[in-house]
Amino acid sequence: MGKQPVEATEQLDASFASDNVAGVSPEILQALTAANTESALPYGGDLQTSALTDWAKSEFGAQAEIYPVFNGTGANVVGLQGLLDRWGAAICSVQAHVNNDEGAAPERVGALKLLPRPTVDGKLRPADITAELSALGFVHAAQPQAVTLTQSTELGTLYSRDELAELAETAHSHGLGVHIDGARISNAAAALGTSLAGITSEIGADVLSLGATKNGALAAEAVVVINPDRVRGTEFIRKFSMQLASKQRFLSAQLVELFGTELWRRNAEHANAQAAKLGQALAALEGVSITGSTVVNAVFPEMPQEMAARIQSAYLAHVWDTAPSGNPVLRLMCNWQTTDAQLDALVAVAAG
């Protein structure tokens, strides 16, 4: 299960291939222009990074630290390294992005050992954590020291606040840290009607990969250290992982504009709402059923082969899975820029 390679051509519409296809929010472009008007100290000694630090402390607690990075892979690899000893390992879902879609970066750059657990919906349960604990103290096995949770998951599912809190409590009771891969944390928080803190710091997460690029930013993500007592050396890890920007103000300015206002929520709510409309419109077509529930910005329609072929003749669309019926399941992503006209055009192609 997972994205299958699709050859990109100029003739295929990429509007639903990923939430990364969207442009940059106009407000963020304005913030970049404002940050470009005068000189500033490099490597985070600028006013924008100071403002970002203030925001992080107000959102996640006075002890919080924030480290802008260039991309989500960097955020995950840096954040997890801060939780693990050299002999440590992180428990994850087998469908987790960090397990399937970071190339070999966790292993080659972060020297990380992942312990993937099979799940039916991309979500870990407390039993998945305890099942790995028999390795503790066994010299021949990597030592479980952290749990990494993808929110929202690669399957478009969500951990509730209670589920996250139970997982964090289980992890902490056994001495494990908790990392949240929040590439789509804004979509998750918008869908759950909560703050960012409500599904991170308030449930016991220790470190967060704060996603921004998929929600309107330009090559800007961050590692948020929520619990510095458990997450160590992030400033040094970021540097040797090649994720420290010299002109950091241009990363920080984007993050301040996105998260210091309600822009993150507006963008995410729009993407989620468009996905819900797309799912409803496709489900009304004969032979189509929606896999799971469309709660964030991903839609997974199962459809007849000929319908999938029509869509893929016009759109860059990933075949995510094959249903028990033998029909393909596509993954269609909406974003902060997705229009009603784009939805209508895709549904018209599907309908033939």
Q: What is the pLDDT of residue 4?
A: 52
Residue intervals in the chain for CATH 3.90.1150.10: 19-23+264-351
Q: Is the pLDDT of residue 178 over 80?
A: yes
Query: What residues contact residue 39 under an 8 Å CB cut-off, 6+ apart?
Result: none
Among residues of the chain, what percentage have pLDDT more than 70? Answer: 97
pLDDT band at 350 (very low <50, low <70, confident <90, very high): very high
Across 111-128, average pLDDT = 97
> pLDDT (tens digit, 9 = 90+) per residue, 14-38?
999 999 999 999 999 999 999 999 9
Burial (0-12, 13-18, 19+ Cβ within 10 Å), 260? middle
3-state secondary structure the chain: CCCCCCCCCCCCECCCCCHHHCCCCHHHHHHHHHHCCCCCCCCCCCHHHHHHHHHHHHHHCCCCEEEEECCHHHHHHHHHHCCCCCCEEEEEECCCHHHHCCCCHHHHCCCCEEEEECCCCCCCCHHHHHHCHHHCCCCCCCEEEEEEEECCCCCCCCCCHHHHHHHHHHHHHCCCEEEEEECCHHHHHHHHCCCCHHHCHHHCCCEEEECCHHHCCCCCEEEEECCCCCCCCHHHHHHHCCCCCCCCHHHHHHHHHHHCCCHHHHHHHHHHHHHHHHHHHHHCCCCCEECCCCCCCEECEECCHHHHHHHHHHECCEEEEECCCCCEEEEEECCCCCCHHHHHHHHHHHHC
> pLDDT (tens digit, 9 = 90+) per residue, 295-334?
999 999 999 999 999 999 999 999 999 999 999 999 999 9
Q: Class assignment of domain 39-261? A: alpha beta
Q: What is the pLDDT of residue 154?
A: 94
Residue intervals in the chain for CATH 3.40.640.10: 39-261
Q: Is the pLDDT of residue 6 over 80?
A: no
d(CA 52, CA 68): 9
Which of 221, 239, 258, 238 lies closest to 70 in space, CA to CA? 221
- Backbone angles phi and psi of 209, in degrees to 5: -90, 105
DSSP lists the bridge partners of residue 333 as 298
d(CA 223, CA 80): 10
**pTM confidence score:** 0.94
pLDDT band at 121 (very low <50, low <70, confident <90, very high): very high
d(CA 114, CA 145): 10
Which superfamily, per CATH, for 19-23+264-351? Answer: Aspartate Aminotransferase, domain 1 (3.90.1150.10)
Cα distances from 311 to residues 210, 284, 289, 304, in angstroms, run: 33, 16, 15, 11
Q: Is the pLDDT of residue 9 over 70?
A: no
Pull the structure tokens for residue 163: 């589920």
Query: What residues contact residue 104 under an 8 Å CB cut-off, 6+ apart?
Result: none
d(CA 37, CA 33): 7
d(CA 240, CA 136): 29
